[in-house]
Amino acid sequence: MSDNSTISQNPISFDQIDSFAKGTSVFPAAKAIRRAVTQNGIEKATNDNQAAVEAQNVFSVEVKTGQVSDQKSSGRCWMFAALNTMRHRTSDLFNISDKFQLSQSYTFFWDKLEKANYFYNNVVKTADLPLDDRKVAYLLQTPQQDGGQWDMICAIIEKYGLVPQSVFPETYDTSHSFAFNRVFNRKLRRDAVELRELAQQKDNQAELSEKIKEFNSDNYRLLSLSFGDPASVAQFDFEYRDQDNNYHLEKNLTPKSFFAKFIDQDLEDYVSIINAPTDDKPYGKTYTIENLGNVVGGRQVKHLNLKLDQFKQAAINQLKDGQSVWFGVDMGPQVDRQTGIMSLKNFAVSDTFGIDIDLTKAQQLDYGDSMMTHAMVLTGVDLDEQGKPLRWKVENSWGDKAGKKGYFIMSDDWMSLYAYQVVVNKKYLSEDLQKAQTQVPKVLDPWDPMGALA
């Protein structure tokens, strides 16, 4: 390791500041740029309508969908995206109205309860480490949150099933989760104080288990009084009209029998594919993340890292077969939320300010500039004559006011740089890749960018 202690410091001098000011004053159109940016902000002042010209709302491959959903003021995009792919299937199988929704608050309830228990188990596991250990500090920083991963929603559904939104509707706190999370995380940290002290005493597993049971009982009550009680849908009736206005009534369903009949998917067939071109993650290998999950003993978060062309082709294969695709992106850079255009040409920042801010995808990940922050659904792709993608159609979960009635258009070069994950049925992978996906995964640090929650 090199010793940098002898490197001289480089303070900014006033002579340098004079030079900086003079350089800015002669920068081409400096006064006009300053007026535009100070009055409108960087994005409006640098917006390039060429992105809109290229974002034609036409796709050679497109999946039938319906009205978009709205996660409102909550971080449930990963959950909404997964349930959207499933309701597409339900609509196809049963000709149900495009307004049909699966209950996002039902899965939200169980995810919160299970995440709290997962947190308790990690607190006990790390009880011998000091509070300032990086793993403990990372754990306590956010005991639980709204975000999640594809494998985590599968773990919830496999254990608890699904119900229609009509029988388990949204509440204020499911749609506006900030205040709930503040209260819940404070409670979990308070519980962690007691669990760490008990765990450090050793030889008291029965007492620890009883204490966790007590805490989980409190958590159930808090969730039930805020989100609604899932005991109310332990058995339920489901009535609906199909798109031909025919009436249907299904009686005495359970959440698991509803899933078996109305979604009928083997979730084990669906696997997570990532594109992470960093040196620490060779392609063709699988990865998991330490301490990341929700259901203790449930499905493990697992990713297969593939080259970009393989990553895209898997999604294209599934779309061609009429199935939408769950996918995860960094939804911050170069996204015009009003028009719904995701394009590297949206905002001409470098040209406007005369600065170079380009990074490769690997550099973005290695230097903390980007990670997955949002999950949505791919519902279409426009292919050129050689079968290469030009742009993609995206179903978002921000309601119908954003984008084109809730749908976004993503340029292929934007996808190349900012899309990190797709979930596909493994049958759309080659035999070699299916075999690679079965490998025992390498365990990554809890703070690895591939552990980011959408």
Residue 144 inside a domain? The answer is: yes
pLDDT value of position 114: 98
Concerning whether 95 is annotated as a catalytic residue, the answer is no
Residues 230/235/237/240 CA torsion (nearest 10 deg)? 50
Cα 37 versus chain centre, distance: 32
Catalytic residue among 88, 122, 346, 374: 374
What is the residue type of 398?
W
Helix (H/G/I), strand (E/B), else coil: 237: strand
Tell me how long the chain is: 454
Catalytic residue among 181, 185, 396, 425: 396
Residue 443 inside a domain? The answer is: yes
326 in Cβ contact with 81 (< 8 Å): yes
Residue 30 inside a domain? The answer is: no
Q: Residues near 135 by Cβ (< 8 Å), separated by ≥ 6?
A: 126, 129, 290, 291, 446
Q: What are the pLDDT tens digits along the chain (454 aa)?
A: 556 667 789 999 999 999 999 999 999 999 999 999 999 999 999 999 999 999 999 999 999 998 999 999 999 999 999 999 999 999 988 999 878 999 999 999 999 999 999 999 999 999 999 999 999 999 999 999 999 999 999 999 999 999 999 999 999 999 999 999 999 999 999 999 999 999 999 788 899 999 999 999 999 999 999 999 999 999 999 999 999 999 999 999 999 999 999 999 999 999 999 999 999 999 999 999 999 999 999 999 999 999 999 999 999 999 999 999 999 999 999 999 999 999 999 999 999 999 999 999 999 999 999 999 999 999 999 999 999 999 999 999 999 999 999 999 999 999 999 999 999 999 999 999 999 999 999 999 999 999 999 8
Residue 5 inside a domain? The answer is: no
Determine the straight-line distance between the first and last CA of the chain, rounded to whole angstroms.
36
Q: Residues near 349 by Cβ (< 8 Å), separated by ≥ 6?
A: 42, 46, 355, 357
pLDDT value of position 99: 85
Catalytic residue among 77, 122, 219, 291: 77
pLDDT value of position 8: 82
Concerning whether 374 is annotated as a catalytic residue, the answer is yes
Per-residue DSSP letter, 13: P
> What domain range is 418 assigned to?
61-451
Nearest alpha carbon to residue 441 among 300, 248, 236, 269: 300
Transcribe 80-127 into DSSP letters: HHHHHHHHHHHHHHH-B-TT--B-HHHHHHHHHHHHHHHHHHHHHHTT
- Which structure tokens are listed for 409? 């258009």
pLDDT value of position 2: 59
pLDDT value of position 203: 81
Residue 13 inside a domain? The answer is: no
Task: Please give the backbone phi and psi of residue 365, each rounded to the nearest 5 degrees, phi first.
Answer: -75, -45
Q: Supply the CATH number for residue 202's domain.
A: 3.90.70.10
Residue 81 inside a domain? The answer is: yes
Nearest alpha carbon to residue 227 among 287, 183, 267, 275: 183
Per-residue DSSP letter, 300: P
Q: How many CB atoms lie within 10 A of CB 40?
A: 12
Give the number of domains in the chain. Answer: 1
Residue 163 inside a domain? The answer is: yes
Nearest alpha carbon to residue 375 among 264, 229, 269, 272: 272
Residue 426 inside a domain? The answer is: yes
Give the HSE-up count for residue 324: Cα atoms under 13 Å, Cβ half-sphere: 27
Concerning whether 248 is annotated as a catalytic residue, the answer is no
pLDDT value of position 1: 55
Per-residue DSSP letter, 70: B
